[in-house]
């Protein structure tokens, strides 16, 4: 079964708006990673947050991690059309990386 | 371009057949991972190799096997193929293990008819 579960399943926003997606996982983790996938292509790593970190920034991305709630969130600020993609969280535990079902983000021009 | 290469890009075959998917990791990466992505199952971890040794197993069927060779490239063998094996198969590599990000290849799209 999958460790990570994203919410919402799909998100449609206007260019310039912020997009927030959430991820929940089930067991203790080494770290939590976020990836982006453009339609049918390979996944691209976005950001990694370790279990002892609470927040991390990378450009327009902000990730938070709450290990007590076993949850993480990804915020994309000032979205662009090029941000249209599926976003996956992946929980790293026990030598495995377990992906959620993903959030499909559509950014409207 | 992630630096991870996969061949072939597309593969169409019939039920009962056997295929081999090939992956070359990024230069210097010792870990190779295989994933299966399908509409109904999502992205599933299959197996990981580290420097030639099997490190972790996920939801890999007994009909599937993999290996990592001394030059660090890896092959995923799928046998007795069924319609449900149709999926995108991704290979990823990382420098050491799960403490690092993974770099994904472009994938092999397998269609079983």
Average pLDDT rounded to a whole number, residues A34-47: 92
Mean pLDDT over the full length of chain A: 92
- Tell me: pLDDT of A7 over 70: yes
- Tell me: pLDDT of A18 over 90: yes
Please state which of the ranges A73-77, A93-97, B47-51 shows the lowest mean pLDDT.
A93-97
- Tell me: pLDDT of A2 over 60: no
- Tell me: pLDDT of A40 over 90: no
Average pLDDT rounded to a whole number, residues B78-102: 89
Tokens representing B103?
């770099």
Q: What is the pLDDT of residue A96?
A: 80
Q: What is the pLDDT of residue A1?
A: 43
What is the interface size between A and B, counted as CB pairs within 8 Å?
63
Looking at the partner chain, which of A30, A94, A97 has a beta carbon nearest the beta carbon of B102? Answer: A97
Which H/E stretch holds residue A48? strand A43-50
Q: Are B111 and B11 in contact (CB under 8 A)?
A: yes
| B110 in contact with chain A, both atoms CB, cutoff 8 A | no
Q: Is A99 within 8 Å of B88 when comparing Cβ atoms? A: no
User: Is the peptide bond prior to B66 cis by the omega test (within 30 degrees of 0)?
Assistant: no
Beta bridge partners of A6: A23
Q: Are A97 and B33 in contact (CB under 8 A)?
A: yes
Work out the percent of chain A whose per-residue pLDDT is above 90: 76
Query: Which of the 8 DSSP states describes residue B51?
Result: T
Q: Is A95 within 8 Å of B97 when comparing Cβ atoms? A: yes
d(CA B104, CA A33): 13
């Amino acid at each position: 079964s999958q460790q990570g579960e994203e919410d919402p399943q799909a998100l449609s926003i206007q260019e310039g708006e912020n997009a927030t997606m959430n991820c929940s996982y089930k067991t203790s983790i080494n770290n939590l990673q976020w990836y982006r996938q453009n339609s049918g292509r390979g996944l691209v790593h976005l950001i990694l947050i370790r279990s002892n970190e609470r927040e991390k920034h990378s450009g327009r991305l902000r990730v938070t991690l709450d290990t007590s709630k076993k949850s993480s969130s990804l915020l994309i600020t000032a979205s662009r059309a090029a941000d249209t993609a599926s976003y996956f969280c992946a929980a790293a535990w026990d030598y495995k990386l377990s992906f959620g079902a993903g959030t499909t983000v559509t950014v409207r021009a | 371009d992630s630096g991870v290469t996969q061949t072939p890009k597309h593969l169409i075959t019939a039920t009962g057949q056997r295929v081999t998917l090939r992956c070359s990791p990024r230069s210097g990466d010792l870990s190779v991972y295989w994933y299966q992505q399908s509409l109904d199952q999502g992205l599933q971890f299959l197996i990981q190799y580290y420097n030639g040794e099997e490190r972790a197993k996920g939801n890999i069927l007994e009909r599937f096997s993999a290996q990592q060779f001394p030059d660090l490239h890896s092959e995923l063998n799928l046998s007795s193929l069924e319609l449900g094996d149709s999926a995108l198969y991704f290979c990823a590599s990382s420098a050491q293990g799960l403490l690092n990000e993974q770099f994904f290849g472009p994938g092999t799209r397998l269609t079983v008819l």
